[in-house]
Amino acid sequence: MFCDRAKVFIKSGKGGDGHVSFRRELYVPAGGPDGGDGGRGGDIIFQVDDGLNTLSDFRHVRKYIATSGEEGGKRRCHGKDGEDLVIKVPEGTVIKEFETGKVIADMSGENRREVILKGGKGGLGNMHYATSTMQAPKYAQPGQPAQELWVQLELKVIADVGLVGFPNVGKSTLLSRVSNARPKIANYHFTTLDPHLGVVDLGDGAGFVMADIPGLIEGASEGVGLGHDFLRHIERTKVLVHVVDAASTEGRDPVQDIRTILNELKAYNPELLTRPQVIAANKIDAIYTEEGAQNPLDALRREFEPEGIQVFPISGVSGQGVKELLYHINELLKTVDRKPVIFEKEFDLSELNMTSNLPFTVEQDKDGVYVVEGPRIEKMLGYTNLESEKGFDFFQKFLKVNGILTELEKAGIQEGDTVRMYGLVFDYYK
């Protein structure tokens, strides 16, 4: 089953905590601290897989979590790093932040592999905190927290040419005639619910990729009839081919059909109308014009050729006029940049709020006092003598290496403001 959208949860690995230990061996005087560093957490990496053309795998697995780094060990042993998690997607997949819809990455063109979430750094073991005044530090740095995010994956097909039009006008028939694609063809509306790609070979190295965009209807730009799902696949195309039923076999007016499609394209993304366009007036072998009535081909030419949109009468069934249409499309493609449309990055991953994952909280109470709490802080205050010089130096270093000072500054603290950590109250000065 074709699937072009998926909502998934991704989370990198947490950094391993630094270790607190001391070397205690017979005949080794003053062994000192030997706690090792924690391992790095695994990254979340997205990678293009040319063997994939759908996001259907994500219908069954919705959560992707990299492994965390392991805690450091005694004897200066470094904790094992967490393994990176590589998530494979088809080319053309756009990764968006779910809540805002902002683009994080576009897995197209040369962008074949990208780290989306970085794993946390491992914490430093207590061997790093030994000084001349603090020879037996009982503290190690915790590992950095993991990053987590809900993302929306959207597959936007990569094609040079997009066939657009109402249902049952012959788009699939045309694609099957000019390419190796074999879309489902039947005489009822919305036979095609998935985009199909076909390679058109004109010989001598000339050719292009053509996409059959499922039938659009009025209101598509507002989501009517799966409109948003279908319109999304037009965004990367370079040339738009309007396929209409010139014979009006279902009583539709081909001129009005094109106007309706143009309005829907404009409402969805006005930039689409700046791209080269051409009209394929299909089913000409079924045209029957009563004496004195206006020929539908003349009406199409009179309406659109003054706007620079050329009309080509064709028959997708017999192949009449198709060759001329294809060569004209090829000429239009020579006037545009054939490189795929790449969506610019909009979401800064540094915007990720990891405060909730920090091992402490920073809040301002009704009196304007900044209250900092957390189990590690409470434990540190229990064994640190702040009245001694080395104890006070250790306390200052603790605030810095754990990011507490950074979080206080983010909260808006100013010099002279009061900070409370359990029973400890002090004024903040840089």
22 is in an annotated binding site: no
212 is in an annotated binding site: yes
User: Rounded to the nearest 5 degrees, what angle is found at the Cα of 14, between the Cα atoms of 13 and 18?
Assistant: 140
316 is in an annotated binding site: yes
41 is in an annotated binding site: no
Specify whether the CB–CB gap between 36 and 125 falls below 8 A: yes
393 is in an annotated binding site: no
213 is in an annotated binding site: yes
194 is in an annotated binding site: yes
Q: Is 215 left (phi over 0), alpha (psi -120 to 50) or beta?
A: beta
Strands 206-212 and 161-164: parallel
192 is in an annotated binding site: yes
36 is in an annotated binding site: no
What does the CA dihedral 292, 295, 300, 303 come to, rounded to 10 degrees?
-20
What is the per-residue DSSP string for 86-151? EEEE-TTEEEEETTT--EEEEE-TT--EEEEEPPPPPPPPGGGG--SS-SS----PPPPPPPEEEE
- Residues paired with residue 372 on neighbouring β-strands, in sequence order: 362
402 is in an annotated binding site: no
Can you read off the two tokens belonging to residue 75? 């004897």
Q: Identify the DSSP state of 350.
A: G
142 is in an annotated binding site: no
CA distance 39 to 125: 11
318 is in an annotated binding site: no
4 is in an annotated binding site: no
191 is in an annotated binding site: yes
Angstrom CA distances, 133 to 214, 380, 393, stand at 74, 17, 9
CA distance 355 to 407: 8
170 is in an annotated binding site: yes
Can you read off the two tokens belonging to residue 376? 């590690």
193 is in an annotated binding site: yes
283 is in an annotated binding site: yes
111 is in an annotated binding site: no
248 is in an annotated binding site: no
Helix or strand (DSSP H, E) at 333: helix 322-333
Q: Which residues are annotated as a binding site for GTP?
A: 165-172, 190-194, 212-215, 282-285, 315-317
| Annotated binding residues | 165-172, 190-194, 212-215, 282-285, 315-317
Annotated binding site for Mg(2+): 172, 192
